[in-house]
Structure 1
Amino acid sequence: MSNIAHLAAQSARQIQQAQAVVTHNLANSGTTGFKADLYQAQSSYVDGGAVNGSAVAGSVGGGVDYSSGAIAQTGRDLDIAITGEGWFQVVADDGTLALSRRGDLRVGTDGLLKDATGKTIMGNGGPVSLPPYSSLSIGTDGTISIVPMGELPTNIVALDRLMLVNPPPEALVKSADGMIRVANMDGLEPDANVRVAVGALETSNVSPVGAMVEMITLARSFEQHIQTIKSAEELDASSASIMKLE
């Protein structure tokens, strides 16, 4: 294969990987609190010995867009959205601690406060466990209050406060399970400056229109690289035929 075809094939492979990332983002454009994945690539120049200085496209890993999504009002008392920077601390499916911006909360049959995917919400005192109650409310500072079952509406009891943290963005890492973490999850301290909006949810920060445009652009670029490979193969075949005639 000629250098032209080889370079085009390398680039086409990178475009396929980028398409997979964009497709994943688009599929989660309606997921509450979702943060878009990013794809990074760069040109590497090959040199040394008899090898010429061709540029080869290569992946240099991905990243995550941690920007906030829009706040959508729902009017539901257990829907909360972090306003500005900050994260909820939750228990992931594997039992480890993780970070989330998903605030569509509900009370499980075991009395634990969970999000819509079943992940347990952490409070400053550990997993938030609710005793029988007649009403439940969450303050803008994350304080969880209830009126115990059988008590007067004025007998409001503060149970706990949501574990709201705000580690630096450069410390955040998206794990293979899709959850956000830092190196030392147990070492995170609650941040009193993190605030929540009640009766609202943070939407995904993925723009469906932008993702569709990016997919179309990548698809066209992929087709161009495939056409380049075909043209290079035809050129190789023509050169071989000429050499045979000689």
Structure 2
Amino acid sequence: MMRSLWTAASGMIGQQFNIDTIANNLANVNTTGFKANRPDFEDLLYQTLRVAGTPATELTVVPTGIQVGHGVRPAATQKLFTQGSLQSTGNVTDLAIEGEGFFRVLMFDGTYGYTRDGSFKIDANGQLVSSNGYRFLPEIILPEGFIRDTMTVSQDGRVTVKIAGVDDPIEVGQVEIYRFVNPAGLTAVGENLFKVSGATGEVIPGRPGFDGMGKTIQRFLEMSNVSVVQEMVNMIVAQRAYETNSKAIQTSDNMLATANSLKR
């Protein structure tokens, strides 16, 4: 009965972790470029009371063993890098990736950050930066006298703009996007950014629309891929599982109290 107390308690802890993950997903339902998390669980060690295949008699073996489980624990949180819906903004510096890949920015500590959030801005120096001021890489610097509304970004990432007094547009940069062997190995660091880890594998740069890279869509943003309906279903299931495990603890406690009362 003490085993069942711990097993049910581990179930409650696991479902609390599940609810924590669901709550974070729902909190970020309107976060640009956010990717939903999914908790993965694994069972704990088993106590083997009888090993399958051991001899029962001289001529027979035990067909099945006896194993008692000890509960569950969180094994991982999986980022779901499915495509979010694209929302039109009309802003010339907003970019969305349709397909695989990430934008790259230079963070203030000199390291690279990767993001699906394409809500870029133009700073005082005419440079394309993220909402937090991180420089877009490779750098795109707009020339003096450019006309903002003439800025265009093609689906293959070519950036052109017109300058006042000049009829023909000029090319000012090329958007690159980046893929990973294992994007699930990326580490979320907040601010809609990811950093590479030892599990991501090789960083693969490329031109949008080529070699498996997604296309860049100007004047659109990729929204969160969180499904509110699915998260609500998951939350109800987690709540019921939490309640059921708490009932198992109460039942085990009552059984233990009954056993203790036998000596009276």
- 1:48-127 matches, within 5 Å, as 53-92=68-107, 94-123=109-138, 127=139
Q: Is the 8 A contact 1:172 1:180 kept in 2?
A: no
Q: Which residue of structure 2 aligns with residue 44 of structure 1? A: 44
Distance 1:62-1:185 versus aligned 2 partners, 3 A rule? closer
Q: Is the 8 A contact 2:8 2:249 kept in 1?
A: yes
Q: Which residue of structure 1 aligns with residue 219 of structure 2? A: 199
Q: Following TM superposition, by how much is the alpha carbon of 1:215 offset from its aligned partner in structure 2, in angstroms?
A: 1.4
Q: Is the 8 A contact 2:180 2:203 kept in 1?
A: no
Distance, in Å, in 2 between the alignment partners of 1:97 and 1:229 is 48
Deviates more, 1:177-186 or 1:112-121: 177-186
Q: Is the 8 A contact 1:83 1:196 kept in 2?
A: yes
Distance, in Å, in 2 between the alignment partners of 1:114 and 1:186 is 25
Distance 1:92-1:25 versus aligned 2 partners, 3 A rule? farther
Q: Which residue of structure 2 aligns with residue 227 of structure 1? A: 247
**Quick one: percent identity of the two aligned structures?**
24
Q: Is the 8 A contact 2:78 2:184 kept in 1?
A: no
Indicate which of 143, 148, 151 corresponds to 1:131: 143
Distance 1:228-1:212 versus aligned 2 partners, 3 A rule? same
Q: Which residue of structure 1 aligns with residue 260 of structure 2? A: 240
1:23 aligns with 2:39: no
Deviates more, 1:26-35 or 1:187-196: 187-196
Q: Following TM superposition, by how much is the alpha carbon of 1:130 offset from its aligned partner in structure 2, in angstroms?
A: 2.7
Q: Which residue of structure 2 aligns with residue 218 of structure 1? A: 238
Question: What CA RMSD, in Å, does the superposition of the two structures yield over aligned residues?
Answer: 2.6
SS of 1:166 mapped into structure 2: strand
Q: Following TM superposition, by how much is the alpha carbon of 1:9 offset from its aligned partner in structure 2, in angstroms?
A: 0.1
SS of 1:63 mapped into structure 2: strand
Instruction: State the number of aligned residues.
Output: 238
Indicate which of 176, 179, 182 corresponds to 1:166: 179
Structure 2 alignment gaps of length 5 or more:
51-66
Structure 1 alignment gaps of length 5 or more:
none
Q: Is the 8 A contact 1:97 1:185 kept in 2?
A: no
Distance, in Å, in 1 between the alignment partners of 2:109 and 2:36 is 22
Deviates more, 1:26-35 or 1:226-235: 226-235
Q: Is the 8 A contact 2:189 2:195 kept in 1?
A: no
Q: Is the 8 A contact 1:147 1:155 kept in 2?
A: yes
- Superposed CA deviations along residues 103-135 of structure 1, whole A, max 9, x for unmatched, are 112112343212334332212xxx323332223
Distance, in Å, in 2 between the alignment partners of 1:172 and 1:4 is 35
Q: Is the 8 A contact 2:180 2:201 kept in 1?
A: no
Q: Following TM superposition, by how much is the alpha carbon of 1:187 offset from its aligned partner in structure 2, in angstroms?
A: 5.4
Distance 1:228-1:172 versus aligned 2 partners, 3 A rule? closer
Distance 1:232-1:172 versus aligned 2 partners, 3 A rule? closer
TM-score, structure 2 as length reference? 0.80
Distance, in Å, in 2 between the alignment partners of 1:172 and 1:40 is 13
Q: Is the 8 A contact 1:15 1:218 kept in 2?
A: yes
TM-score, structure 1 as length reference? 0.85
Distance 1:46-1:28 versus aligned 2 partners, 3 A rule? same
Distance, in Å, in 1 between the alignment partners of 2:109 and 2:24 is 22
Q: Following TM superposition, by how much is the alpha carbon of 1:24 offset from its aligned partner in structure 2, in angstroms?
A: 0.8
1:151 aligns with 2:168: no
